[in-house]
Amino acid sequence: MADVEAILAPWIEARFPVTAGSETPPDLEKRLPFVRVERIGGSDERFTQRPRVAVDVFTTTADEGRHLSGDIRDALLLLLSGPVGGGVVQSIRCDSGPSAQPWAGDTVRRRGATYTVTLRAT
């Protein structure tokens, strides 16, 4: 089966000036902007997966986070399709658009969105 986190994080890194991964690093404040891609549910069938994915954007300002999370949403919906990193992306649906999310501390801003990705292994 294809690993949605291993597909989306490098794809986002290749298109935006960010670091991306499935876990927030302990030195997050030094690695901003950072994008966390994490599977939070969804279904797996015999040949097709429909994982639900949280994409969290961490930045230093609310404006930067709003713009970057919107640009990532647009790219995922409009550009990501076909063979990518060990899988074939058939479709992406935005279930909950980017919105402000709580995060501890005053130096980091977080905006989160959720997507359902339909994919299969290559």
Other Cβ atoms closer than 10 A to 114: 18
How would you class 20 by CB atoms within 10 Å of its CB: exposed for 0-12, middle for 13-18, buried for 19 or more? buried
Using pLDDT thresholds of 50, 70 and 90, give the confidence band for residue 21.
very high
Token code pair at residue 103: 């995060």
The pLDDT of residue 2 = 86
pTM for the predicted model, two decimal places: 0.96
In this predicted structure, the answer to whether residue 34 has a pLDDT above a threshold of 80 is: yes
